[in-house]
């Protein structure tokens, strides 16, 4: 079945840490991340994503495809960075049980191969990350060394991902649909961006 979609930049498919895991991430982001007000802490899986007019259809397809995908543990503990010229983006590296995030990404692309933009962003392919801030190239190593010992490792069960949308360029994203995985021990998590 050919899944025709229109891609836009005011929606995304994301993995979001639960609210009880994000306090220290948000403290850093509030000071250092220019997207703090617009984005919740997240790992982008697909961005750009589909037009909101197609959300219901895409939700049904993805939920059906991923209903037997096993939930997995995610650990956040290590800072890393991307360099863009003289600027750097610092991020937390999500370590996933059984390489769950990469496997999840490949499953999404089986249904919607045209949503592979994040696979083409760098020579390293898809690199899951949670942005915590933007820094000059002269500051980045010093900032990482300062933040790392203060950060307490966070773990959570990834049992679902979210389709998010915003109205205008400066509006915050909200969760519109939640795609649930197979889990033997579902957790009743609350997420930033839930209505």
pLDDT (tens digit, 9 = 90+) per residue, 38-69?
A: 999 999 999 999 999 999 999 999 999 999 99
Looking at residue 184, its pLDDT comes to 87
Q: With a threshold of 0.85, does the pTM exceed it?
A: yes
Structure-model confidence comparison of residues 105 and 168, the more confident one: 105
Per DSSP, the three-state class of 73 is strand
Q: Taking 50 as the threshold, does the pLDDT of residue 81 lie above it? A: yes
Left, alpha or beta for 193 (phi > 0: left; psi -120 to 50: alpha)? left
- Residue 11 CA to residue 27 CA, distance in Å, equals 25
Looking at residue 57, its pLDDT comes to 96
Q: Within 13 Å of residue 82, how many CA atoms lie on the same side as its CB?
A: 19
Structure tokens, 3? 């899944």
Of 35, 47, 60, 1, nearest in space to 170 by CA: 35
Q: Tell me the pLDDT band of 121, cut-offs 50, 70 and 90.
A: confident
Of 143, 150, 133, 25, nearest in space to 76 by CA: 25
pLDDT (tens digit, 9 = 90+) per residue, 148-173?
A: 999 999 999 999 999 999 998 889 99
């Amino acid at each position: 079945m050919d899944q025709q979609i229109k891609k836009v930049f005011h929606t995304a498919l994301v993995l979001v840490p639960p609210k009880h895991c994000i306090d220290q991430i948000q403290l850093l982001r509030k000071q250092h991340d220019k997207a703090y007000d617009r984005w919740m802490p997240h790992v982008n899986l697909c961005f750009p994503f589909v037009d909101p007019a197609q959300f219901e259809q895409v939700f049904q397809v993805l939920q059906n495809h991923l209903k037997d995908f096993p939930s997995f543990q995610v650990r956040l503990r290590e800072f890393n960075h991307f360099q863009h010229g003289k600027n750097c983006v610092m991020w937390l590296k999500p370590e996933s049980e059984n390489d769950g995030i990469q496997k999840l990404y490949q499953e999404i692309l089986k249904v919607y191969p045209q949503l592979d933009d994040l696979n083409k962003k760098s020579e390293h392919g898809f690199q899951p990350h949670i942005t915590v801030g933007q820094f000059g190239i002269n500051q980045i190593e010093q900032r990482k060394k300062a933040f790392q010992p203060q950060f307490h490792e966070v773990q959570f069960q990834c049992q679902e991902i979210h389709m998010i949308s915003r109205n205008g360029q400066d509006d915050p994203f909200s969760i519109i649909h939640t795609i649930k995985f197979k889990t033997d021990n579902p957790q009743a998590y609350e997420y930033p961006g839930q209505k």
